[in-house]
Structure 1
């Protein structure tokens, strides 16, 4: 979301962690709930350096599929940004397909400003014996070999797995096709204790049948995958995570500005059964 530029890969050994095996994620994948969630976005804070005087928008996230047939995600992130002198509308549209069994990830991302296409990124990533190979068809046709990485649904499964085990901190390298589709991101994830909602909690009532369900408070920081980086995250996301992968009450911190995202609508789909 609002992904910024990312640079060159860093080895897992340098970070001091070991990538967990992919089969562990695949075994847990049936626990994810297909759904469509709509979030209202508004500016929570902005520094003078950001040049932003106002910002609001909407985010729509639709998750479908099964562990057997693969998972699809449709994502749209629309914001109206006011600088005090002018305003602009930004629109990020992404669709992905993730096949956990075979280690494949297809992605298509289009970004618009005031309804004019700025950039299109399209490609396929798949597990290779030495890491992840990315075959891009847009913006340029090329192939890139990257270090071993998690794809987005795999990473969510890892977060849930650590949360259930009571782990409070872990690190991962991920590939999600963002930016130009040829870089990886490093992440650190912090998981709080499983918590019951309290009266008046923001957007809990919009969670429908999950309004009173327990959740984990989660914060994920995203970093450049680059030894030459300054060690500061590109951005942080904090949210409340349910056991089925649905999230609400988001805070997105990009350093110079912070957005909040409140669940406005949630539609749960039928769980697909493996045939």
Structure 2
């Protein structure tokens, strides 16, 4: 799942959602629940709104790659934003994010690296594991060696996308669950996804003919701090989600400014043919 994780991501928000909406977590779902595609996507980012006029300009790009391997799902995301603000002048923000999620979505290795004008803001590295009920632990190797407890129902990013697509295809209006993706130091965050409306199957953007027709839905996801009881999200992400996991028409709220993400290029590498898992004999 595409993730936006700059530290200053928590101001001007679009909706107030009651905390009790997050009280029905889903257990982790095997990725077989959705036919997720390997993908290499490039997005152009442009400023669409500046809260209070503080951000004068902002442009950027994002490279997002998901590759299914026999060892699991490898995700890489690089986000690069150049902005100019009244207070700080030109600023260059860059974030790099990598994960390996096991085929059963029970284990996650993560690495997050963020800089501002070449200076390190945050570096997180570690591993997390889930039990069958979604409870588990996340161990951070950086910046300090520490362990966080993950609540029942926690999911990792690829399982979250699979659950979201299952909800879209089942005609549901929303989806709530704790999510751990390794982009914050406090463990899991609560998420509340609203499925706004469904679109008829259409060709995937930027692919040459004959591009396959794929159904999609407009989705809005709000992220909340797990430890708090705030009714206001930490940040929000809107996008069109296709049923193979590809996303476009991004709407990212960074707090003091919002950016639109347009899919610039897309390729769909073939998924590998992996040997069937061996089952233990009694």
The TM-score with structure 1 as length reference comes to 0.85
Q: Distance in 1 between matches of 2:57 and 2:162?
A: 35
Give, in angstroms, the shift of residue 121 of structure 1: 0.6
Q: Residue 119 of structure 1: which of 118, 122, 145 is its match?
A: 122
Two-structure CA RMSD over aligned residues (Å): 2.6
Q: Residue 42 of structure 1: which of 35, 46, 49 is its match?
A: 46
- Deviating above 6 A after TM superposition, structure 1's stretches of 4 or more consecutive aligned residues are none
Q: Distance in 2 between matches of 1:246 and 1:74?
A: 14
Q: Deviation string for 1:154-191 (max 9, x for gaps)?
A: 100000000010001121110111122x3221111111
Q: Residue 91 of structure 2: which of 82, 88, 91 is its match?
A: 88
* 8 Å contact from structure 2 (residues 111, 125) kept in 1: yes
- Give SS of 1:53's match: strand
Give, in angstroms, the shift of residue 268 of structure 1: 1.0
Q: Distance in 2 between matches of 1:106 and 1:5?
A: 25
With CA pairs under 8 Å and 6+ residues apart, which has the higher RCO, 1 or 2? 2
* 8 Å contact from structure 1 (residues 218, 240) kept in 2: yes
* 8 Å contact from structure 1 (residues 5, 179) kept in 2: no
* 8 Å contact from structure 2 (residues 83, 92) kept in 1: yes
| 5+ long unaligned stretches in structure 2 | 10-18, 276-282
Aligned counterpart, 1:144 = 148
Q: Tell me: CA distance 1:173–1:130, structure 2 relative to 1, closer, same or farther (3 Å).
A: closer
Aligned counterpart, 1:73 = 75
Aligned counterpart, 1:133 = 137
Q: Distance in 2 between matches of 1:262 and 1:131?
A: 36
How many residue pairs end up in the alignment? Answer: 259
Written as runs of structure 1 = structure 2, the 5 A alignment for 1:1-275 is 1-4=4-7, 17-22=23-28, 24-29=29-34, 31-48=35-52, 51-66=54-69, 69-84=71-86, 86-101=89-104, 103-128=106-131, 131-148=135-152, 149-180=154-185, 182-196=186-200, 205-208=205-208, 210=211, 213-229=214-230, 231-275=231-275
